[in-house]
Amino acid sequence: MFIHIGNDHVIREEDVVLIIDRNMITSSNIMEEMMDNANVKQKVYGPSDEAKSIIITTEQIYYSSLSVAALEKRAGMVSTISKLDDFVEELE
């Protein structure tokens, strides 16, 4: 399934490694170094100036204007939908 993370980006749910608040990046030297390395490799997408959260996937890093809570709700909805059975055949 896919998650719309804002800023015209849609990612595969199974590719998500971590969703973190943007403020957490500046509190960790290791996280800052990781972001710097990803920027050098041009693997960071989205506007950083209006970002509320950062989504780290297996291949890229995305800045999102959505909060961590909003992204968790979207991911939870996708997870719930994917677990539903298809009852269309039973209705026919």
Collapsed DSSP state (helix, strand, coil) of residue 22? helix
Measure the N-to-C terminal CA separation of the chain; round to a whole number of Å.
26
Q: Please give the tally of structural domains in the chain.
A: 1
pLDDT in tens, 9-48: 999 988 999 888 998 888 888 888 999 999 999 999 998 8
pTM of the full structure: 0.77
Question: pLDDT digits over 54-74, tens only?
Answer: 999 999 999 999 998 888 887
Q: What residues make up the domain containing 14?
A: 2-90
